[in-house]
Amino acid sequence: MRYAFENTDFDEVFSYQKATNIPSRKVAEKIGMSLREEYADEKNIKTSVYSITRSQFSAMNINV
């Protein structure tokens, strides 16, 4: 994520995964992302969307 925030002008980074993929959800949470949305889709039945903003990432002071 550090690369994304240091080398782009993105204000937010997103992670999309199948809602039942618990390991991926835990990784997103471990690196500071928060659940933003869940929605139904044809491929995964339900998709979870996690994100972190530039300011949230900066406040964490980590190298991910």
Predicted confidence (pLDDT) per residue in 16-56, tens digit: 999 999 999 999 999 999 999 999 988 879 999 999 999 99
Distance of alpha carbon 57 from alpha carbon 3, whole angstroms:
12
Q: What's the pLDDT score for residue 26?
A: 97
Asked whether the CA dihedral 53, 59, 60, 64 is positive or negative, the reply is positive
**pTM for this entry:** 0.86
